[in-house]
Structure 1
Amino acid sequence: MRKIVVVNNPKDWDIDIEEVEVVDAQRYLTDPTYIEMKSARVFNLCRSYKYQSSGYYVSLLAEARGHRAIPNVTTIQDMKSQTIVRAITDEINETIQKSLSKLKSKSFTLSIYFGQNVAKQYEKLSKQLHDLFQAPLLRAQFVYNKEWVLESISPIPVNEVPEHHVRYLLKYAKAYFARNRFSSARVSKKVYDLAILVNPAEKDPPSNDKALQNFIEAAGALGFYTELITKEDYRRLSEFDALFIRETTSVNHHTYRFARRAHADGLVVIDDPVSILRCTNKVYLAELLTKAKVNIPKTMIIHRDNCDRVIEELGLPCVLKKPDSSFSQGVVKVKTQEELQEELKEMLYESDLIIGQEFTPTDFDWRIGILDKQPLYACKYFMAKDHWQIYNWDGKKKDVAGDFETVPFADVPFFVLHTAMKAANLIGDGLYGVDLKEIDGKAYIIEVNDNPNIDAGVEDQILKKDLYLTILKSIKRRIDLQKNLVNSNTHEPS
C-alpha cells in the first residue's frame, strides 16, 4: 500500500524517507493517478484543515476514494469542538495532571510531532493525545484553573514548526514511518489487513489461544495479513482494513473506544460500536425485547421509586442484574427480603436502573451463535457444579464453569432457533451469542451477547475450522462490499 504525504507546498516537507511519496495538495485532489488509485495511506500535512480548504478536502476525498487519511474528517471535526475535546480527553485526566504538575505558569503549550515531544517528561501525555487525535502534528493548549484543562487541540501547520524543532521532527517522522507497517513487502502480497484486539492478561477471554491461532490461519487462507494487537496499539488502527475484537467488551472501556474509532475510520468492525452499546446494557435489552414481544422471563426494570414492589412483581427467590454485567458477574440471586434490600441498595448506588427477573432454574442454557442474521453454532452450557449459573466464580478452580455440549442444528428445537434469531436481528447483523432457557416447550431470552465465546474445543466442535473460515469470510465480504461501494461512487458519471 502506497504511503503519501500531502502538503500544500513540497518545500514544506523537505524530508526524504524511504517509500514515502510527497505530493502537493492540488495534485492529489486533481491528478487522475490519485483519483484512480485503489489503495493508499494519506498523511495530510496541509497547513490548514479549515472547512472547505484544500487540507479539508484532502482528507474528505481520501475517504471517498477508499484511501486511509490521517487525520480523517472525523478527527478534524472532533478537534474543532471544545465539548468533544473535553469529553474525549476526560479519560486521560490523570496523565494530564501528573505530567503538568510541576509547572508554575497558568498556561502551557505542548507540541506533538508524530506522537512525541522534545521533552521526555511529556512523552506519555504526547502519546495519549496522539492516540485520541490522530494527526501527524498537533498543538495542545492547556490552562490551569484549580486543575489543568485541555482548552484546545489543533494541527500544527508543517511550515510553522520552529527551526530548533526541525531536527526532532525529522527524527520522529523517520521513526514513525519505520515503526508502522504501512506498506512492507510482506504485506503487499496480502489482500487486506486485519487487526485482532486481544488482552493477553485477561483470565477468561472470548477466544482461547488455539482459537486465535485458528482465526489467524483462516484469515491467511483468505488473503489477510493478520496481527494480534492490544490496547497499546490504538494509534495504529488506521493501518488496517478491519478490526475483530476478541477481548471482553464494555462501553466505559477501551474496547468500545477501539470499535468507535475503527468505525469512524471506515474499518469493518466486529463488534461494531452500536452492537456493543446495545448488548452490554441489560436495561436496553429488556426494553427492546419486551417491545418486540420476544419471550423473556418475567422482568422488571427497577429504580428507587418501585424497588418496594420487587417481591410483589417477581417473588422470591429472584435474580438481580447490573446493567453491564457479563459472564455471570454482577448477577445475584436473592432468597430473602433482607438479601434483596442489601443488594438493591448496592446496585442502585451504582446505576439508576437495574434489572430484576423471576428465578427460572434449568439444567442448562442454550447458546445460539449468530452471524449475518444466520445461525452459526448451537451449544448447551450446563450449570456449574452445585450452582444456579453457568459460571461460579466463588467455586473451586475446576468447578468455575459447567460442562458444555455442542449440538447439530437438526437437534435444536425450531422455537429455540427462531427465538434466538428474532432477538439477535433486533441488534444488527454482526456476531452475537444468544442465551436462552427452554421451559415447557418455549424459549426465553436471557441475554444477547456481542463478542460471544469462540473457543477451540467448544463452539467449534461440529464445524471445526470451518467455523473460523465462516467468520473471516464474513469480514472479507464486508470489506469487499465497502470497497466496491466506494469505487462505484467514485466512478459515477457526473
Structure 2
Amino acid sequence: MSGIVVVDQRSDWPVDIPGIEVVTAWDYLTQELHTRARRLRVYNLCRSFAYQSSGYYVSLLAGARGHKPLPEITTIQDLKLAESPSIINDEVEELIQHSLARIGSSEYVMNVYFGESLARRHERLARALFNQFPAPLLQAKFVYRGEEWRVDSLGPIALGEVPASHHEVLFEAARDYFARKRSPRRRKEPSRYDLAILVNEDEKEPPSNARALKLFEKSAEDLGFDVEFIDKSDYGHVAEFDALFIRETTAVNHHTYRFARRAAREGLVVVDDPLSILRAANKVFLAQLMERHRIPQPKTMLIHTRNLKQVAAELGFPCVLKQPDSQFSKGVIKVENAAELKDKASDMLERSDLIIGQSFEPTEYDWRVGVLDGQPLYACRYFMAKDHWQVVKRAGNGAKVEGSHETLAVEDVPPQVLKIAVDAARAVGNGLYGVDLKQFGKVVKVIEVNDNPNIDHGIEDLVLKETLYRRIMEYFIRRLEARTRT
C-alpha cells in the first residue's frame, strides 16, 4: 500500500521521505488520479480540520474512496469531544498522573508528533494519546486541579503552528513512523490486502507458537496479503489494515478487545471479532446461551450469594466451580465437600456477582473441535494430565504438566461430536472457535466455547498441516471479497 502526505501547500512539508509522495489537499480532492487510486494511505497534515474545511474533506473522502486516512474522520470528531474527561480511558489517566508527577507548574502543554514527544520521560504518555486519538499532530494541555492532573484540551494542531525548534523532531518522528515495520518486501506481485497479526512476544502461553505464526504468515502472503505482526503499541495503526487476526489471548477488560472493537468499527475483517470476545469470554453468558439453544452441557447452575446453600443439593459432590472469565484451566476448580464449596465459592464471588457451578463428569479426554465460519476445521483429543482431572495440571510455583494429545481427521470424529460442536460455535458467531466437549458413549456435552483457540504447530495442524493455515487465511479473503462486491 503506497502513501501520500496531504498538505495545503507543498512548501508545508519540505521533507523527502522514500515511498511517500507530497500532494496538496486541492489535488487530492479534485484530481481523478487520486479519486480512482486504490490501496492508498493518506496522512492528512492540513492546517485545519474544521467542519467542511479542505482538511476535513480529505479525511472524509479518503474513507469514501477506500483509502486509509490518518486521522480518520471519526478521530477528528472524537477530538472535538476530547476535553470531556470521560473520553480518556483509565490506562491513559494513570499515565498522565505518572508522567506529569514531577512537573513544578500547574499547567503543561505537550505536543505529540506521530506518537512521539520531545521529552523522553513523556514517551509512553505520547504513544498512549496517539493510540487513543490517532492523528499525526496533537497538542494536549494539562492542568493540575484537586491534587491531580486533568486534560484541559486535546486536539490536532496545524502544521504551521509547530514551532520551528520542533521541526527536526517532527520530521524525524515522521520518518520513523513511515518506515516502521514497512521495509520493502520482495514480492512477485503487489499485495491485494494488508493483514495485521496481533501478538505478544512476552506471553507465556500464547494461542499460537512461533512456528505456527510463520505458517500463518506464509499462507497469507501466498494468497496475496501483505502481513505485519503488531503488538499493543500499534493501536494507532489499526485503521491502516484491511484485516486483523488476533493471536494473543483475548479478554474483555484488555487491549485485545479494544483492538478488535476499533478494527470492527473501522470496517476491518476481524478474528476474533469483539462480539465473539464478549460472548465467549464469559462462562455465565455461555451457560445461558447453551441452555437457550438447547445444546447439551453438564448440569449447570448460576451461583450467587443467595443460593450458595443450594449448590450441594443441586449438583452434588464433587462439583466444579468456574470463574466467569477463566482461561486455560485457570479459575476452574473442583470442590469435594460443603466446607470447600463455601470457601472457594465465597472467594470467587468477591470478584464476580455470578459464577458457574457444574456437575463433575470425569472423562479420559476432552474433545476440541475447531470451527471456522460454521464448519468443522480440525479435531483433537486432549488427555487429562497424569493423576489430575484436567488437561493441564498447575503447580503452586507456576509450573504446569499437560496430558498427551491426539489429532484426528474431521471425517474420523463421531458425527454427534461434530454436530454439537458446530451448533455451539454457531450460537456464538461465525468466526474461528475452539469448542471443548466431553463424550460419554453416544452422549456429548459442551464444556465451553473459546473465541481464541490454540493453533500450534505440531498439535492442531498434525492432520491438515499447512492446509489448516491456508483455510483460515482463505476465510479472510472470502470476507474481504464479499465486502468489496457489496
Q: TM-score range by the shorter chain?
A: over 0.9
Letter in 1 for 2:28: Y
Cα drift, residue 156 of structure 1: 0.9
SS of alignment partner, residue 327 of structure 1: coil
CA deviation map 1:389-419 (0-9, x unaligned): 1111129999711122222233322222111
After the TM superposition, which residues 321-470 of structure 1 pair with which residues of structure 2 at under 5 Å, given as runs? 321-394=322-395, 400-470=401-471
- Which blocks of at least 5 consecutive residues in structure 2 are unaligned? none
Percent of aligned pairs with the same residue? 53
Cα drift, residue 328 of structure 1: 0.6
CA deviation map 1:17-66 (0-9, x unaligned): 33322223333233222221111001122333344443333223212222
Residue in structure 2 matched with residue 289 of structure 1 by the alignment: 290
Contact preservation (8 Å) 1:85, 1:153: no
Q: In the aligned structure 1, how far is the partner of 2:290 from the partner of 2:30?
A: 51
| Pair 1:312–1:141, CA change in 2 (3 A) | farther
Q: In the aligned structure 2, how far is the partner of 1:194 from the partner of 1:292?
A: 34
Cα drift, residue 68 of structure 1: 0.8
Residue in structure 1 matched with residue 111 of structure 2 by the alignment: 111
| Pair 1:462–1:19, CA change in 2 (3 A) | closer
CA deviation map 1:400-443 (0-9, x unaligned): 11122222233322222111111111222111001111235222
Answer with 23-32 or 139-148: which moved more.
23-32
Contact preservation (8 Å) 1:279, 1:285: yes
Cα drift, residue 102 of structure 1: 1.3
Contact preservation (8 Å) 1:74, 1:264: no
Q: In the aligned structure 2, how far is the partner of 1:399 from the partner of 1:237?
A: 35
After the TM superposition, which residues 230-245 of structure 1 pair with which residues of structure 2 at under 5 Å, given as runs? 230-245=231-246
Question: Cα RMSD over matched residues?
Answer: 2.4
Q: In the aligned structure 2, how far is the partner of 1:84 from the partner of 1:419?
A: 48
Cα drift, residue 167 of structure 1: 3.4
SS of alignment partner, residue 207 of structure 1: coil
Residue in structure 1 matched with residue 43 of structure 2 by the alignment: 43
Contact preservation (8 Å) 1:138, 1:154: yes
Q: In the aligned structure 2, how far is the partner of 1:166 from the partner of 1:280?
A: 46
SS of alignment partner, residue 350 of structure 1: coil
CA deviation map 1:285-308 (0-9, x unaligned): 112221222212121222222223
Contact preservation (8 Å) 1:385, 1:399: no
Residue in structure 2 matched with residue 67 of structure 1 by the alignment: 67
Letter in 2 for 1:2: S
Contact preservation (8 Å) 1:364, 1:380: yes
Answer with 170-179 or 370-379: which moved more.
170-179
Q: In the aligned structure 2, how far is the partner of 1:284 from the partner of 1:299?
A: 12
| Pair 1:221–1:178, CA change in 2 (3 A) | closer
Answer with 222-231 or 275-284: which moved more.
222-231
Q: In the aligned structure 1, how far is the partner of 2:447 from the partner of 2:400?
A: 22
Contact preservation (8 Å) 2:111, 2:139: yes
TM-score by length of 2: 0.92
Residue in structure 1 matched with residue 174 of structure 2 by the alignment: 173
Answer with 397-406 or 282-291: which moved more.
397-406
> How many residues are paired up?
484
Contact preservation (8 Å) 1:85, 1:152: no
Structure with greater helix percent: 1
SS of alignment partner, residue 256 of structure 2: helix
Residue in structure 1 matched with residue 273 of structure 2 by the alignment: 272
CA deviation map 1:243-287 (0-9, x unaligned): 212121111222222222322333222111211111111111112
Q: In the aligned structure 1, how far is the partner of 2:482 from the partner of 2:419?
A: 28
Cα drift, residue 87 of structure 1: 4.9
SS of alignment partner, residue 56 of structure 1: helix
Cα drift, residue 11 of structure 1: 4.2
| Pair 1:97–1:399, CA change in 2 (3 A) | closer
Contact preservation (8 Å) 2:127, 2:233: no
- Which aligned runs of 4 or more in structure 1 are off by greater than 6 angstroms? 395-399
Contact preservation (8 Å) 2:181, 2:228: no
| Pair 1:83–1:449, CA change in 2 (3 A) | farther
CA deviation map 1:376-396 (0-9, x unaligned): 011111111111111111299
Contact preservation (8 Å) 1:44, 1:59: yes
After the TM superposition, which residues 83-102 of structure 1 pair with which residues of structure 2 at under 5 Å, given as runs? 86-102=86-102
Q: In the aligned structure 2, how far is the partner of 1:69 from the partner of 1:248?
A: 29
Answer with 291-300 or 192-201: which moved more.
192-201
Cα drift, residue 198 of structure 1: 2.0
Q: In the aligned structure 2, how far is the partner of 1:398 from the partner of 1:326?
A: 16
Q: In the aligned structure 1, how far is the partner of 2:265 from the partner of 2:405?
A: 38
SS of alignment partner, residue 323 of structure 1: coil
- Which blocks of at least 5 consecutive residues in structure 1 are unaligned? 486-494
Contact preservation (8 Å) 1:114, 1:130: yes
Contact preservation (8 Å) 1:66, 1:483: no
Cα drift, residue 375 of structure 1: 0.7
Letter in 2 for 1:253: H
Letter in 2 for 1:6: V
